[in-house]
Chains A and B, each alone.
Chain A
């Protein structure tokens, strides 16, 4: 087994990649309160995977959306499980976003040299909220329809650009077939995950490169400290457990 893994490692360097992904220098060791970023990455991955499979069976139009969701939920093998995971992970993500943001504020992770990373994080926050809002409408049920109606009407009362923005988002003056295809097709499923992943990659890379934000609080240690490897702590144990809690 070791020979096989060594053979794969020589050709792919996977051990280095795993070490880069799973290990991080954290002064003082790992803490439960540091897990929120990782749980969000986990949830986003789950949403991408389950969303992709749901998208294969979903039919976006005002005549077929509800029916196709009903079909996924009640007729397809394990459809209830797939949709359940997507539905509940979407809800959990909003809670995790708030917890993560609170952590950023409390630890001062928006301060130098992490400002740009913080701005990307804010962008991601908005994108994930937008995904949540638009995903709500996809089943085309009463709850989703009226919730979207309320949200887009609030959007319309924004000064100057409000009405135009509302028309752009729902594809016309009212929520109907065009909104269905607008929100599920181009706007949501195909275009939005793209900026999310484009923001996510630099966001996560910079987070690793800049080190834990707990460093920002200790003035004697600045962001270059991780280079001297104060204490190599595997974070995966806590993150794994927290991610499994998310999934159950």
Chain B
């Protein structure tokens, strides 16, 4: 058997070779992976849609005794490549607190994002997921309630004497502060 000895090349030439190999390897290997990662992280640079005030209901449809009623919020919505002109984008509880004053709450529980129900007998809002409960005015009713804050109140505008316009917005769940989502 015969073996061939490979003459050792000078160290500096090996260094240039290795550097070139690492460079070429990095360029060729990393470009697909990095472009994939950038696409993967694309949702992070998407901003939530700013919504204008939406006509939700008429003042006359709310009972005068302040019992809340739930209404769907119908608005245009863009979901990736789909633009939908009039679809339900969420829901609100509206309650009359004066002749021409209305309070609006987002139905989403600030704890973990489930929809709360209104319990007529207890006169409070109740979340079926983790038993958060909220008083009529939206504050936390039970100290054991896991929600970090009360129901999220929304800006309301009464227009033309009878139209209830709500600036619908979702907020980040699980935070003490009301941060727009």
Query: Do the beta carbons of B80 and A68 come within 8 Å of each other?
Result: yes
B4 contacts A231, C-beta separation under 8 Å:
yes
Contact, CB under 8 Å: A50 / B17: no
Is B128 close to A, CB under 8 A?
no
In the complex the two chains form, what is the Cα distance from A53 to B41 in whole Å? Answer: 10
Q: From A243, which residue of chain B is reached at the shortest CB distance? A: B28
Q: Which residue of B lies closest to A247 (CB)?
A: B28
Task: State whether B1 touches A228 (Cβ < 8 A).
Answer: yes
A14 shortest CB reach to chain B, Å: 14
From the candidates B3, B17, B24, B33, name the one contacting A49 in the complex (CB within 8 A). Answer: B33
Residues B42 and A77 in contact, CB atoms below 8 Å apart: yes
With contacts A70-B81, A236-B21, A244-B24 taken as known, whether A85 is within 8 angstroms of B31 at the C-beta atoms is yes
A residues in contact with B35, CB < 8 Å: 50, 53, 78, 81-82, 85
Chain B residues near A52: list those with CB within 8 A: 36
- Across-interface contacts of A76 in B (CB, < 8 A): 39, 42
Chain B's nearest CB lies how many Å from the CB of A158?
36
Taking A229-B3, A230-B4, A241-B24 as contacts, is the C-beta distance between A82 and B80 under 8 angstroms? no
Do residues A75 and B81 form an inter-chain contact, with CB atoms below 8 A? yes
Find residues 27-85 in chain B having any chain A CB closer than 8 Å to their own CB.
27-29, 31-33, 35-42, 45, 80-82
Residue A199 at the chain B interface, CB threshold 8 Å? no
- Shortest Cβ distance from B31 into A: residue: A247
A78 and B28 within 8 A (CB): no
Counting contact residues on chain A (CB < 8 A from B), the size range is 35 or more
Partner of A53, one of B24, B40, B80: B40
Q: In the bound complex, what is the Cα–Cα distance between A56 and B39 (angstroms)? A: 9
Bound-state CA distance A244–B29 (Å) is 9
- Residues B42 and A46 in contact, CB atoms below 8 Å apart: no
Q: Mark B74-105, 1 if CB is under 8 A from A, else 0.
A: 00000011100000000000000000000000
Chain A residues near B28 (CB-CB < 8 A): 42, 240, 243-244, 246-247
Which B residue's beta carbon lies closest to that of A72?
B39
B179 at the interface (CB under 8 A from A): no
Among candidates B17, B33, B39, B42, residue contacting A237 with C-beta atoms closer than 8 Å: B17
- In the bound complex, CA of A42 to CA of B17 (Å): 20
- Inter-chain CA distance A46–B36, complex, in Å, is 10
Complex Cα spacing A127 to B106, Å: 53
Chain B residues with CB under 8 A of A67 = 81-82
Which of A193-248 touch B at CB < 8 Å?
Answer: 228-232, 236-237, 240-241, 243-244, 246-247
The yes or no answer to B6 lying at the interface (CB within 8 A) is yes
Residue of chain A at shortest CB distance from B41: A77
Q: Which of B1, B32, B37, B81 has the most CB of A within 10 A?
A: B32
Complex Cα distance, B17 from A240, in Å, reads 11
Interface of chain A residues 42 through 58 with chain B (CB within 8 A):
42, 45-46, 49-50, 52-54, 56-57
Residues of A within 8 A of B (CB): 42, 45-46, 49-50, 52-54, 56-57, 64, 67-68, 70-72, 75-79, 81-82, 85, 228-232, 236-237, 240-241, 243-244, 246-247
